[in-house]
């Protein structure tokens, strides 16, 4: 195989791996809820969940609407319903592995 084809194949495979590793909405929600288990400010959630502020704000608003997270003034905290979601997600994830 010529070196050019080898490089193209390597780049193509590398891109496939990167796309496979992208998080979906559920994974982002799990990361946010996990970050806020013991209470966390928005900045801490942004860093722990690896999001930008705008995207984190959108997810936090959605999670508040669904009662999975609550805003307690200056921090967010995962609710009991949010903890149940995390447990259910973990059980499902374990079964799929």
Q: pLDDT tens-digit profile of 2-54?
A: 545 544 455 455 444 554 567 789 899 999 999 999 999 999 999 999 999 99
Helix (H) or strand (E) holding 38: none
> What's the pLDDT at 83?
94
| Positive or negative: CA dihedral 78, 81, 84, 86 | negative
CATH of the domain spanning 23-96:
1.10.10.10
> What's the pLDDT at 9?
54
């Amino acid at each position: 195989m010529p070196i050019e084809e080898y490089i193209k194949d390597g780049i193509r495979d590398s891109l496939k791996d990167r796309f496979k590793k992208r998080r979906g909405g559920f994974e982002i929600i799990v990361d946010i809820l996990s970050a806020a288990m013991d209470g966390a400010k928005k900045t801490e959630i942004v860093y722990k969940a690896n999001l930008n502020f705008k995207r984190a704000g959108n997810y936090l608003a959605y999670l508040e609407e669904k009662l999975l997270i609550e805003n307690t003034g200056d921090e967010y905290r995962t609710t009991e319903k949010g903890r149940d979601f995390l447990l259910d997600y973990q059980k499902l994830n374990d079964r799929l592995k």
